[in-house]
Structure 1
Amino acid sequence: MNNNNIDFKKVIIRYLKQWKWFVLSCILCIGLAFFKLRYTAPEYNAYAKIMLVDDGGVSNPAEELLKDLGKIPNTDSKKVEDEIEVLKSRKLMKGVVKKLDLNKKIFAKGRIHNTEYFPLKKAPITINFLVSDTLVDESKLSFSLYIISETTFNFIRLTEEEEEITKKGSFGKNIDTPIGDILITPNTNNISSYIGQTIYVQIRPVDKVAEIYRNAVKIKQAGEFSKVLNLSLNDNVIAKAKGVLDMLVEEYNRTSIEEKSAKSNNTAEFINKRIDLIASDLGKVDDEIEQFKTGNKLTDITSEANLYLKTNAQTEQDLAIARTEYNKINFMKNQLDDDSFGRVPANIGLTNGSVNSIANKYNELLDNRNRLLKSSNEKNPIIVNLDQQLLALKNSLREGLDNSAESASLQIRSLENQSAKISSKIYAVPGQVRKSRDIQREQGIKESLYLYLLQKREEATISLISTSPNAKIVDEANSTNIAVSPNQTITYFTSIIIGCCIPFAFFYFKDLLDTKIHNKEDLENVIKNITVLGEVPRLSGNDKHLIERNDRSILSESFRIIRTNFDYIRRSRDVENYNNVVFVTSTINGEGKSFVSLNVALTIANTGKKVLLVGADIRNPQIYSAFKKKNDKALLKIGFTEYLADKSVKISETINDYEINDISLDILLSGKVPPNPAELLMGDRVKDLFDKVSEDYDYVIVDTAPAMLVTDTLLISQFSGHTLFVTRADRTEKKILNFAKELHAENKLNNMMLIVNDVKQSNFGYGAKYGYYGKQKKKGLFSRIIKS
């Protein structure tokens, strides 16, 4: 089976063990349900049916106007949902409460349930308030009247501190109350029949009562797309429930008629105001268009924009030519900056012809000079003369280039200014176009809206304003006169469910928060790769804690099972050294390793084997305390500690023969608690001891220290062939078992096997379901009577 699957059978059995708590919880919940049914006032259901209707084909200018403007949805489904919300509004319900006086209750005391009078005119008394209705609607007051005679009564009121204030009053006379004076008069000619009875009066704020009924009224559509609405209300008084539903529909229709009338009047007033306003706006828009064209000197914006673009293109072209001319001049000037005689560029397209001719003449003289220099030197008078002419031409050329550069620069600046002016006019064109279109668009909108409102005003003038209600009554409020609450079947069924859920939740969360192991199965679920030899049952105070010869107790049988399983695993393993040496350890102290060590040794010795029990837990020795006798104290002087500390002590001097419950057993006690236990266990004499005893005995059971708390067990683990790791039910934490996993994974303890100690017999292995074989079964009283 997959480990992730839940064993439902096991889960059910675990909860069935707690059946007494489930039964007790169900009985208590059923009892509470009985008292609830007994003392809860019954509720009755009233229901009504209405249909939302249109205006009968008569158009409503207000609604048509808002629909055209997209301000209200034009779907029936949305309208039905909206009307449901209107019916459940606080405003409507407050009107219902005030008209039916629901904030005032008068009822007579009954044996189980009080009887409420509705409407109030059916009550034997009438209460008149001498203060404003606004104050009464916001007040809270409770009092009772005990009728003494036909003219007098006792007025009893509870204060906020629940103290009774009683005063005598008379019918027709004012009575002082916290909210003002009230006047109580009889409402029947036979008031004498109420003498000796108590009448209760309760006054609550209208807002709170309206909120209660607003939440209590249920409104649903009869179908998905239906306009028929079903209204229902549960109340202790049938007449009140029906009255509330009928009054709610009446208030809804009255409010809808008022809203339609107000909407029509407001619409007509709104249209007239808007027409006057839009007519004024149209005149302003026309003036704005005229001023815009006059101010910007515009006739046709598109034609003028095209002219600007052509002019700007020609200017840009001229500007490019001027800049090219300027660059050529600068190029020639750079060539003349050198003091040596070199050729200058000629015929590069300068517009100044004199500069070109000077440049050509300069280059010709330079060529002659260079030709003469081939056959002469620079001191030749002819060459000197040529040099003077070249310098003069170079200065003339430089002067001519400076003048041309100045002229080109002036031309460039002029063209740039002209281009900037044209560009600014071009950039202004889109804004002018946009402004012109905005004005035209505004003019078109105003004209369209003006014509639209004129049309709606004519429609409002010739149309009849509808004053029909929104709701048509299909069925007036009615009731079956059968109580719908509390439902006896549902109440008892719910009480049983709750009665089962309470203990279930308790035990579920108890198991959820449980972090300890409880039996062999829990241990196997946590540690899957280490063998669990068996379980040791929990013992009571009267049970024996050490097994005896020919013992048939469940303790003895559990250790026999452990012994059998251990022998089977021991034979299946190939252990070369110390195969008969068994270490017994645990994670922490208090898990019963000494108890397990002693009983395992006794169980094996009971088979006739020669067994030695070694108390190697020299920090906290517990072996001796399990079987000590008064005359055995002398044996405590020499033990495991003395052998390790004193080399003169022989092994034979530390081992003593014991007779425990008629079972012979050799025991090497721990001795005195040393100050340096870890250092002693690291000595060479430990190996000598285990080498000797492993040869002399069939089995050597070693009670060691807890492996998690101290290092003693790990220091001598090499001398063990097998290790029994003891855990304790209801004590060992599952997280702590990770330490055992690590020991096994790292092979720090040889051939680990697990034992679960102190297991409740209800959780004890598979036998928990069937009982212990050999144990006499308890017979019930009925069985014993039949047997006798």
Structure 2
Amino acid sequence: MARKKDIYSTTKQKEPEFRELLDRYLRYWPLFVLSTLFILICSLIYLSFATPTYFSVASVIIKDEKSNGSSKDTDNFTSLGFLGGIGTNSIENELGILRSKRMMTNVVRALDLNVVYYDMEGFRTRELYKQSPFLLQLQQLDEKKLREAIRDEKNFFELTIIGTQQVQIKNLGDESILQTELNTPVTLEFATFTVRKNENYQSSKEELAPPPVTIQFKSIESIASQYQSQLIVELIDENATLIMLSMEDPLPQKARDVLNQVVFEYNREAIEDKNLIAENTAFFIDERLSIINKELDSVESGKERFKETNSLADLQLGSELIMQNASEYNIKQQEVNTQLELVTSMIRFLGSGKSELLPSNIGITDPGVQQLINEYNQLIIERNRLLVGSTENNPRVVNLESQINQLRSNLRTSFERIRTNLRISRNSLQKQAGLLGSQISEVPAQERQFREIERQQNIKEALYLFLLQKREENSLALAATGPKAKIVDQAYTLPYKISPNSNIILFASLLFGLALPVLYINSKTLLNNKVRNRNDIRKVVPTIPLVGELPHLTSDDQVFQPNNRSSMSEAFRILNNNIQHELYKSGDTGKGACFFVTSTIKGEGKTFTTINLAMTMARGGERVLVVGFDLRNPQLNQYAIDGKSLPGVSNYLKNNQEHLESLITDSKLHPNLKLLLSGPIPTNPSELLRKKKVGELFNEIRGKFDYIIVDTAPSMLVADTFIINNHSDLLLYVVRAGYTKKKMLDFVADAQADKKLTNALFILNDVKLSELGYGNKYGYTYGQERPNAIKLLRISLKDKLNYLMSLFTTSSVDKADSGTDLY
């Protein structure tokens, strides 16, 4: 016997816990199926109505505008810290310009994105981008009044074509209606526009007239902010200037147009910045050409008058050798005077104190000064760009202004140094010319004066031709200005939607649908403080055996009816066999075995268990006596004829003249079942139970009956059961599933530890079929017929649900040849 117990324990320990966990959830498989189906259906409905979002992307390369090198003067300025931070434009600045709200505002204005067209037909509103049957061409928009209209919800209009040219404009805010014609200006409180037909509109079905379209006017600022938040500008490689622009939007065409327009607006501004320098240079050259032209006309007129006055047609040259030397010095003087004239003009320009762009490439031969002019112009452009979106108090603007002033001072100093050097060169050349002049003093005065006039003429002509050349070069530079951002890929849309992701949503729905029942079951278990099955009892009181599980009674019929084959009857037969086995183990195989039936509190079914167990034994041919020792709340009177008026145990204990045989009465349930009722309720039950006559009572009835089953009082409420417990062979302790609280089992464990309860055995009453242990859930229905339709109509809804759940929680093989008697 011990070996068998060891084998059972080892097998029990090796049973997989995963299988137990799986069985715990498989009992609720209909709940898992319904939950999963419901969540999946909700997900499919969401996917059918959700607006898909697509991902559009474009890529450009920003041209790196590096300087052509630095001169010695520039290096000197850099070493002094005057030119720090004004080199190549930082790529981060270009990214900031592309992301700027000003840039997006220009895009919104260019594409008229603040006018949105909707198709209100169907279950959901659909935006019509370039697919509206007619379009609005804005001519004027008052942002302030538009914001007021938006606040009053008067910015929604319904446009309907009437006939061929008539247009009805209905304000959905105040229900006002305005009729006009196509291509005719319409003036509202906040806008003026014309309505024209969309030549690219393609109807999806045959229609006599275009359908009505709802138009919404939105604030340019709000739309710019919206698309600015959607625009993503990223540098693909830190070592390159390749930039990727991307955007998520439900309308792929709209997203592509926005990305392309952002690149266009960026290039337009960059070209305008470049052309600004060329335009200022052209203005400076034209101004100088006008002055030089007047001076050249004056010199030529003087030459003409000199010849007319002196009647000269040709002059004889004096000495060829002297004139050749004089010619060389004249050329050098012309070059020096040209440079001096240009430097003087630049000094005068810088002395005006205006922070304007300087002309570049006008013939200054000093490369260092030319580099300073280029850097000065770049600072002016950067400052003007910042002033568009900020004030002069901006720290960046103040810093740039300081650098501009410093660089202007450096340029002025450089020009003055150059002018000083040119003057020294000019003076030296003049001295050399003076020496040559003394050598040709013999030349006639007329010839000398004529040569002076020619020299002035040559200087003016050279300067005039030089400026003409520079003007042409500047014009070519202005015409050949290219975009700053070279487009690598025009905006395109990925061929699949990025949201909602159907696979992820359906998979998540499947998981959520499975998780909901798990959460429900676990929360139900965590919140449940009642005993549900045998495992709840074993966890608290593992030392007391469980000899029977009584299923939930699903009808008003009792198990003590003749030839009853219900699950409850089978449960009591199993209980009877287990009790006989416990008696055999204890060594008591004779007649007169006495069983006490008790519970923790009232309502757990001890009287029900007592009477049905007695009936089960009586049907087996045994003589059974049921004794009512619950003197405070007798419940056995209903099973005896005129039970309320019959004497019983209380009469026997109080009156010494009473004979026990006269108190035993027949039951109305079975001939082999006798009853010894409790009798009238005494005022002192505990004192009566302490009398010696209690022992005499049990000794007398043991010899007359095969089994004595005693219905006692609840153990936790009164001490009556503990007082007479020593007269029992087995104590059947009834626990009701779904009624008895788990913490009440601690009372049983403490009573056993204190040896107040001996030979105790648990009976679990009112157990749901899904909670029955071992084979009970299958065996209780073996060989029974399933209820027919007429019977099902007679039972309550609760019983129907319990029956269906019992079918769900049994295996398909068992359901094929088993049934549950609901009656």
**Tell me, what secondary structure is at the counterpart of 1:686?**
helix
Measured in 2, the distance between the counterparts of 1:241 and 1:37 equals 22
CA contact (8 A) 1:138 1:206 kept: no
Q: What is the aligned partner in structure 2 of residue 764 from structure 1? A: 772
Aligned with 1:559 (options 565, 569, 572):
572
Measured in 2, the distance between the counterparts of 1:50 and 1:520 equals 73
CA contact (8 A) 2:591 2:707 kept: no
Aligned with 2:749 (options 741, 755, 780):
741
- Say whether 1:238 aligns with 2:247: no
Aligned 1:638-657 pairs, distance under 5 A: 638-657=647-666
- Say whether 1:534 aligns with 2:544: no
Q: 1:757 to 1:208 in 2, by over 3 A?
A: farther
**Tell me, what secondary structure is at the counterpart of 1:185?**
strand
Q: 1:199 to 1:724 in 2, by over 3 A?
A: same
Aligned-pair CA distance for 1:490: 4.6
Q: 1:771 to 1:123 in 2, by over 3 A?
A: same
- Say whether 1:674 aligns with 2:682: yes
Q: 1:576 to 1:157 in 2, by over 3 A?
A: same
Measured in 1, the distance between the counterparts of 2:612 and 2:716 equals 23
Q: What is the aligned partner in structure 1 of residue 735 from structure 2? A: 727
Q: What is the aligned partner in structure 2 of residue 518 from structure 1? A: 532
Measured in 1, the distance between the counterparts of 2:490 and 2:757 equals 88
Aligned with 2:721 (options 701, 706, 713):
713
Measured in 2, the distance between the counterparts of 1:574 and 1:267 equals 108
Q: 1:585 to 1:195 in 2, by over 3 A?
A: same
**Tell me, what secondary structure is at the counterpart of 1:756?**
strand
Larger mean CA deviation between 665-674 and 690-699 belongs to 690-699
- The residue type equivalent to 1:199 in the other structure is V
Residue deviations 1:711-744, cap 9 Å, x none?
Answer: 3222333333321111112222222222222222
Aligned-pair CA distance for 1:688: 3.0
Measured in 1, the distance between the counterparts of 2:550 and 2:219 equals 71
Larger mean CA deviation between 136-145 and 664-673 belongs to 136-145
CA contact (8 A) 2:540 2:749 kept: no
Q: 1:246 to 1:581 in 2, by over 3 A?
A: same
Measured in 2, the distance between the counterparts of 1:747 and 1:83 equals 89
- The residue type equivalent to 1:103 in the other structure is N
Identity %: 31
Structure 2 length-normalised TM: 0.59
Measured in 1, the distance between the counterparts of 2:546 and 2:748 equals 13
Residue deviations 1:584-640, cap 9 Å, x none?
Answer: 111221111111111222233344443321111122222233x35xxx116742012
**Tell me, what secondary structure is at the counterpart of 2:672?**
strand
**Tell me, what secondary structure is at the counterpart of 1:558?**
helix
Aligned 1:468-507 pairs, distance under 5 A: 473-507=487-521
Residue deviations 1:273-330, cap 9 Å, x none?
Answer: 999xxxxxxxxxxxxxxxxxxxxxxxxxxxxxxxxxxxxxxxxxxxxxxxxxxxxxxx
**Tell me, what secondary structure is at the counterpart of 1:581?**
strand
Aligned-pair CA distance for 1:570: 3.0
- Say whether 1:101 aligns with 2:101: no
- Say whether 1:658 aligns with 2:667: yes
Q: 1:501 to 1:144 in 2, by over 3 A?
A: farther
Aligned 1:41-190 pairs, distance under 5 A: 41-50=51-60, 56=66, 93=104, 96-108=107-119, 116-118=127-129, 124-128=134-138, 131-136=141-146, 140=150, 141-159=155-173, 166=177, 168-171=179-182, 180=190, 182-187=192-197
Q: What is the aligned partner in structure 1 of residue 700 from structure 2? A: 692
Q: What is the aligned partner in structure 2 of residue 19 from structure 1? A: 29
Measured in 2, the distance between the counterparts of 1:681 and 1:226 equals 102
Aligned-pair CA distance for 1:222: 5.0
CA contact (8 A) 1:547 1:599 kept: no
Q: 1:653 to 1:2 in 2, by over 3 A?
A: closer
CA contact (8 A) 1:658 1:665 kept: yes
In structure 2, list runs of 5 or more residues that go unmatched: 1-10, 274-380, 387-394, 408-480, 790-812, 814-823
Aligned-pair CA distance for 1:521: 3.2
Q: 1:115 to 1:636 in 2, by over 3 A?
A: closer
- Say whether 1:7 aligns with 2:21: no
Measured in 1, the distance between the counterparts of 2:643 and 2:120 equals 89
CA contact (8 A) 1:155 1:167 kept: yes
- The residue type equivalent to 1:611 in the other structure is V
Aligned 1:110-509 pairs, distance under 5 A: 116-118=127-129, 124-128=134-138, 131-136=141-146, 140=150, 141-159=155-173, 166=177, 168-171=179-182, 180=190, 182-187=192-197, 195-206=209-220, 208-210=222-224, 212-217=226-231, 230-248=244-262, 262=386, 266-270=398-402, 473-509=487-523
Counting matched residue pairs gives: 574
Residue deviations 1:58-86, cap 9 Å, x none?
Answer: 8999xx99xx99x99xxxxxx99999888
Aligned-pair CA distance for 1:175: 6.4
**Tell me, what secondary structure is at the counterpart of 1:509?**
helix
Structure 1 length-normalised TM: 0.61
- Say whether 1:616 aligns with 2:615: no
Measured in 1, the distance between the counterparts of 2:655 and 2:187 equals 105
Measured in 1, the distance between the counterparts of 2:564 and 2:788 equals 27
Aligned-pair CA distance for 1:152: 2.8
Q: 1:212 to 1:269 in 2, by over 3 A?
A: closer
**Tell me, what secondary structure is at the counterpart of 2:642?**
helix
Q: What is the aligned partner in structure 2 of residue 380 from structure 1? A: none
Q: 1:123 to 1:520 in 2, by over 3 A?
A: same
Measured in 2, the distance between the counterparts of 1:169 and 1:205 equals 25
Aligned-pair CA distance for 1:6: 8.3
Q: 1:181 to 1:9 in 2, by over 3 A?
A: same
CA contact (8 A) 2:531 2:740 kept: yes
CA contact (8 A) 1:587 1:707 kept: yes
- The residue type equivalent to 1:506 in the other structure is Y
**Tell me, what secondary structure is at the counterpart of 2:30?**
helix
CA RMSD of aligned residues (A): 4.9
